[in-house]
């Protein structure tokens, strides 16, 4: 920018009236202001640790008064996280990159930062949420080996979220020769470590977990939390990243030719389809998947269009821990579709794909309100009971049936097949 300094002085003439005189400086003063660099926070942590939950807390918090540009990275080809980011925030820039940000789409990160710089410059900071399988080192390296990026952005800090329930198993996991343990790298490079999900383990376990984390990252402050709830200002604009510390720990940090390999037994299954699904079929499927894959399920999540419901159903899980609920209303401009992502070891992609496609259903049902039917109520001798359809698509169930039992008992027909409901 160029600033020209002019002086305007007021004096009184002999007639007593005030007159302004402008006296320009003999030589305009030109001062080039240094370009303001935009602070960048890298949000990392293994799959299911609570990164997106933390990001939503930051976006929803009204106390910090900051606006963020978000770069969202997902391992699979079909993104889910950008669909469950807070809709209440004022953030306008959300760039989604599918693939591993530390290797396959690393060049895309550089291009995105350069392309969006003018728009991002209107914001207070950038937050990059990496996939849970990313090594943060190559991502951080981006801000030191590219001169253009280095002139426009400054790495403020690396925030690592760890899941108390699973972190020790992730740190201890044996990897093939030459393959880095991503969970270890995420802890080692952290400037702040969120010890999350403390409600799932006892206090002795938390103490042991923190001691283990200290052996990997002795200097990073540890912040205990549940549901990733922490003060955003303890994580953002903290000027915590130290290149000296990192290069002392990893002398090859700035080596752009260093090899980086992922465990090939870990894969992602991601797909989407238009239309609606039956929530009861989905719950049965998830139960079967958890039983069959168990600890090999690193992460699974989805945003679903459930038949008969006006709200999005968001589910997510890690290993045997699953949660799901209806969240926000579908908007008229939304593309109502079902999205799923599964990440784990030795996944049978065909079995999982066929299972989810089987959950798809037709919103048009065989029976209508007022039709008399037989409902399978599971009796020991005769499971069938006569009744009448009094509502369709009730809380995600195809039918609500009033039985002709004298008490007008109401039951649901969970799936629109003859096994549950048939013509009288």
Q: What is the DSSP string of 325-390?
A: EEEEEPPTTS--EEEEEEEEES--HHHHHHHHHTTEE-SS-S--TT-EEEEE---SS--EEEEEEE
Helix (H, G, I), strand (E, B) or coil at 91: coil
Identify which of 30-34, 67-71, 318-322 has the greatest average pLDDT: 67-71
pLDDT digits (tens, 9 = 90+) for 361-419: 988 999 999 999 999 998 788 899 999 999 999 999 999 999 999 999 999 999 999 99
pLDDT digits (tens, 9 = 90+) for 220-274: 999 999 999 999 999 999 999 988 888 888 887 777 666 556 677 777 787 788 8
Closest CA to 240 of 305, 173, 118, 155: 155
DSSP 8-state symbol, 35: P
Q: Is the pLDDT higher at 61 or at 90? A: 61
Q: Which residues contact 380 (CB under 8 A, 6 or more apart)?
A: none
Helix (H, G, I), strand (E, B) or coil at 223: strand
* 320, two tokens: 């045997």
Which residue, chain included where needed, has tokens 């870990």?
Answer: 266
Query: Is the per-residue pLDDT at 77 higher than 70?
Result: no
What is the distance between the alpha carbons of residues 417 and 284, in angstroms, rounded to a whole number?
Answer: 15
Give 351-359 contacts, CB < 8 A, sequence gap 24+.
352/269, 352/289, 353/269, 353/271, 355/285, 355/288, 355/289, 356/271, 356/277, 356/282, 356/285, 357/273, 358/281, 358/285, 359/277, 359/278, 359/281, 359/282, 359/285
Q: Is the pLDDT higher at 418 or at 34? A: 418
* 236, two tokens: 């953002």
Query: Is the per-residue pLDDT at 123 higher than 50?
Result: yes
- Work out whether strand 410-413 and strand 397-403 pair parallel, antiparallel, or are unpaired: antiparallel
Cα angle 413, 418, 420; round to 5: 30
Q: Which residues pair with 98 in a beta bridge?
A: 74
Mean pLDDT across the chain: 82
DSSP 8-state symbol, 51: H
pLDDT for the residue numbered 6: 32
Confidence of residue 17 (pLDDT cuts 50, 70, 90): very low
Radius of gyration of the chain (CA): 28
Identify which of 168-182, 217-231, 247-261, 341-355 has the greatest average pLDDT: 217-231
pLDDT for the residue numbered 122: 82
What is the distance between the alpha carbons of residues 80 and 369, in angstroms, rounded to a whole number?
Answer: 36
Query: Is the per-residue pLDDT at 31 higher than 50?
Result: no
Q: Which residues pair with 316 in a beta bridge?
A: 301, 323
pLDDT for the residue numbered 97: 54
Confidence of residue 9 (pLDDT cuts 50, 70, 90): very low
CB 316, CB 301: distance < 8 Å: yes
Mean pLDDT of 6-19: 40
- The dihedrals phi and psi of 169, each to the nearest 5 degrees, come to -60, -40
Q: Is the pLDDT higher at 337 or at 20? A: 337
Helix (H, G, I), strand (E, B) or coil at 133: coil
Provide the CB-side half-sphere exposure for 21 (13 A, CA). 9
* 212, two tokens: 């283990």
Q: Is the pLDDT higher at 19 or at 340? A: 340
- The dihedrals phi and psi of 95, each to the nearest 5 degrees, come to -105, 125
Q: What pTM does this model have? A: 0.67
pLDDT for the residue numbered 154: 94
pLDDT for the residue numbered 401: 97
- Work out whether strand 153-163 and strand 192-196 pair parallel, antiparallel, or are unpaired: parallel
Which of 78-92, 201-215, 367-381 bottoms out in mean pLDDT, i.e. has the lowest?
Answer: 78-92
Q: How many CB atoms lie within 10 A of CB 215?
A: 9
Which stretch of DSSP H or E encloses residue 122? none
Give the rounded percent of residues in the chain with a pLDDT score beyond 90: 41
pLDDT for the residue numbered 14: 43
Q: Which residues contact 277 (CB under 8 A, 6 or more apart)?
A: 304, 305, 306, 307, 338, 356, 359, 360, 361
DSSP per residue, 255-269? -TT------TTEEEE
Query: Is the per-residue pLDDT at 155 higher than 90?
Result: yes
Q: Is the pLDDT higher at 214 or at 93? A: 214
What is the distance between the alpha carbons of residues 3 and 12, in angstroms, rounded to a whole number?
Answer: 29
């Amino acid at each position: 920018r160029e600033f020209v300094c002019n002086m305007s002085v007021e004096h009184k003439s002999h007639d007593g009236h005030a007159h302004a005189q402008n006296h320009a400086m003999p030589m305009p003063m030109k001062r080039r202001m240094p370009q303001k660099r935009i602070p960048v926070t890298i949000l990392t942590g293994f799959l299911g640790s609570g990164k997106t939950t933390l990001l939503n807390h930051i976006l929803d918090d009204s106390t910090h008064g900051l606006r963020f540009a978000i770069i969202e990275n997902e391992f699979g080809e079909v993104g889910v996280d950008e669909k469950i980011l807070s809709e209440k925030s004022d953030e306008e820039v959300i760039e989604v990159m599918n693939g591993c940000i530390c290797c396959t789409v690393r060049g895309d990160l550089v291009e995105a930062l350069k392309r969006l710089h003018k728009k991002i410059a209107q914001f207070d900071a950038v937050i990059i949420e990496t996939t849970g399988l990313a090594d943060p080192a190559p991502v951080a390296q981006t801000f030191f080996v590219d001169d253009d990026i280095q002139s426009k952005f400054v790495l403020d800090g690396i925030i690592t979220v760890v899941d108390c329930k699973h972190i020790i198993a992730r740190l201890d996991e044996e990897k093939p020769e030459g393959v880095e343990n991503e969970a270890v790298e995420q802890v080692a490079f952290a400037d702040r470590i969120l010890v999350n999900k403390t409600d799932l383990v006892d206090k002795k376990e938390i103490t042991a977990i923190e001691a283990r984390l200290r052996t990997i990252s002795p200097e990073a402050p540890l912040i205990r939390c549940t549901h990733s709830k922490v003060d955003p200002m303890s994580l953002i604009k903290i000027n915590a990243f130290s290149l000296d510390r990192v290069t002392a720990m990893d002398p090859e940090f700035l080596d752009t030719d260093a090899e980086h390999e992922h465990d090939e037994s870990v894969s992602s299954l991601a797909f989407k389809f238009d239309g609606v699904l039956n929530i009861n079929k989905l719950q049965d499927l998830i139960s079967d998947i958890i039983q069959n894959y168990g600890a090999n399920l690193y992460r699974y999540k989805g945003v679903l269009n459930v038949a008969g419901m006006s709200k999005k159903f968001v589910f997510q899980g890690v290993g045997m821990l699953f949660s799901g609920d209806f969240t926000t209303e579908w908007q008229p401009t939304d593309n109502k579709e079902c999205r799923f992502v599964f990440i784990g070891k030795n996944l049978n992609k065909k079995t999982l794909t066929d299972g989810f496609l089987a959950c798809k259903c037709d919103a048009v049902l065989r029976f209508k309100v007022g039709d008399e039917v037989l409902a399978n109520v599971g009796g020991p001798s005769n499971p069938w009971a006569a009744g009448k359809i009094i509502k369709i698509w009730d809380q995600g169930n195809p039918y609500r049936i009033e039985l002709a039992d004298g008490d007008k008992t109401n039951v649901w027909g969970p799936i629109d097949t003859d096994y549950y409901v048939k013509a009288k």
